[in-house]
Structure 1
């Protein structure tokens, strides 16, 4: 029976050199994407002119404009968790190098992940308080997702206001600004806003739904990953039906 010949010393050396080169390239990418590039952007990126909308567009950790706010809900944190769960949206994990690599592997091997991580965005000087997602199919490269920040406002019933940004992830790719593994988002953020409220309405737990027109004067831009977005400028507002005491 024929057997494969053992590799020669020269072949083994070439293979070893190739592995070392790949390892060095991978290490350099990790250092540049996750350490150098964010530090450079944070230190040297000039503030993007927002025309008075600094509190209506989120920010990345390195100071880039993030995703625009387009949804708001009134309710306690428990009510928020309950209505999102009833709408078949799941709590999302935080993003980091380990979770970046996991979601990349899940994407390659088409493994579903209901808690796939979302990158942190900032508003009011802090990252999101809650994040939810709804998978699409069996691959985390595309999904519905929304981030919420709790505000100091409350309604007449004493329910706090949560302001949020709903965006659809089309695929997994590399950020145009840092080179980090991230989701590439769909430009039509109104479609995701509308879809989220469609899901919430179907739960029967939404007591009111209103629209604040012209919430945004700025109707288009790019987010922290360099992905374009556009909107009609409206903010959708919902009030969660409070449970009787």
Structure 2
């Protein structure tokens, strides 16, 4: 059965989460009698009611240093988790750590920790075990309000060159948060989206000389404040705008024993102007060659009164020769659809969206060369994210 016919046969569609993310849904909205051609809603079922009803009010876990520990507990939007942890882990650098961890030293600046903003050896957690999910600090005591759904994982914050001997004993109380905000009505993407929405939006961005470059492969519905909060919550950082900014920022970060991941990216153009925002997700040290990165522009289109932002996302995977001038430039992963889907996965993992869909424009771009001469390929679809 074709997808469009299958969707028409379903009385309601859950569209708050992403099929590729492993994140469960928290809200349902009714589907119209039909989905427009060129639009594919991204659907995932909500957590099984029997799983949620069988949860206990308190748990105890043993969390050894090493791989992520699957607690077996499914958490969902509106849960409040109260953690307390004890124990000692002996780290291979000669330190002993409690759940609060140890302050980062100079050597830690060249290490890639599971959570670079947390102390070495600290207790950390995350919801779902995918790369798009951002860990959060816990330490010896922490109260956390959950904004998404999925399985809870715990770990000791170490890097690939640090091993640990020992474990933490973690006690957790589970309850519903008294401060959970009432969910606003989600945008009905099935009735709001169509290929015509992208009729006046260029398929590609350009460099300063007007050479066509990366493909426009994602769109976001929301206010500027929603956009900025969504990227921050999903683990993306704004990059420095100039080399001078990078030098100052990098020096301050180094003196503070903090990781630097905000390396600048080039200015590209859409609608005749530079990007409004630039974001990246990367590990320190590797950021010079490998990182997720994207650029965002505000369009003149609106959906349900909210602005439509569009952008181009690619994954830097190394270096190559710039065909324009012979200099060294970044090489992008030619399968740019994986980066497009990584954005939706990261937003879903952060609980930042109420719905998502793929839209195939009337003139989809399938393969091309970047402005620097690198090639890329795509199925031509644009992913659209409606922000919470």
Q: TM-score band, normalised by the shorter chain?
A: 0.5 to 0.7
Render the CA deviation track for 1:160-191: whole Å, top value 9, x for unaligned.
11001110001144422123443221111100
Which residues of 2 match residues 58-77 of structure 1 at below 5 A? 58-77=205-224
Q: Residue 30 of structure 1 corresponds to which residue in structure 2?
A: none
* CA distance in 1: counterparts of 2:261 and 2:243, whole angstroms: 17
Aligned residues: 181
Alignment CA distance shift 1:54-1:150 (3 Å): closer
Which residues of 2 match residues 111-190 of structure 1 at below 5 A? 113-136=260-283, 138-140=285-287, 141-156=289-304, 158-190=305-337
Mapped pair 1:234 → 2:386: no
Shift of 1:139: 1.4
Give the TM-score normalised by structure 1.
0.67
Shift of 1:55: 1.2
Question: Is the partner of 1:196 in helix, strand or coil?
Answer: helix
Question: Is the partner of 1:210 in helix, strand or coil?
Answer: strand
Alignment CA distance shift 1:112-1:63 (3 Å): farther
Render the CA deviation track for 1:129-170: whole Å, top value 9, x for unaligned.
1110000453121000111110111111x2211001110001
* CA distance in 1: counterparts of 2:383 and 2:335, whole angstroms: 15
* CA distance in 1: counterparts of 2:239 and 2:362, whole angstroms: 27
Question: Is the partner of 1:94 in helix, strand or coil?
Answer: coil
The answer as to whether partners of 1:219 and 1:231 remain within 8 angstroms in 2 is yes
* CA distance in 1: counterparts of 2:345 and 2:299, whole angstroms: 23
Q: 1:84 aligns with which of 205, 222, 231?
A: 231
Structure 1 stretches of 4+ moved >4 Å: 95-100
Question: Is the partner of 1:151 in helix, strand or coil?
Answer: strand
Alignment CA distance shift 1:210-1:54 (3 Å): closer
Alignment CA distance shift 1:83-1:54 (3 Å): closer
Q: Which has the higher helix share?
A: 1
The answer as to whether partners of 1:215 and 1:233 remain within 8 angstroms in 2 is no
* CA distance in 2: counterparts of 1:81 and 1:151, whole angstroms: 16
The answer as to whether partners of 1:95 and 1:119 remain within 8 angstroms in 2 is no
Which residues of 2 match residues 29-108 of structure 1 at below 5 A? 55-94=202-241
* CA distance in 2: counterparts of 1:95 and 1:192, whole angstroms: 25
Question: Is the partner of 1:183 in helix, strand or coil?
Answer: strand
* CA distance in 2: counterparts of 1:212 and 1:123, whole angstroms: 19
Q: Cα RMSD over matched residues?
A: 2.7
Give the TM-score normalised by structure 2.
0.43
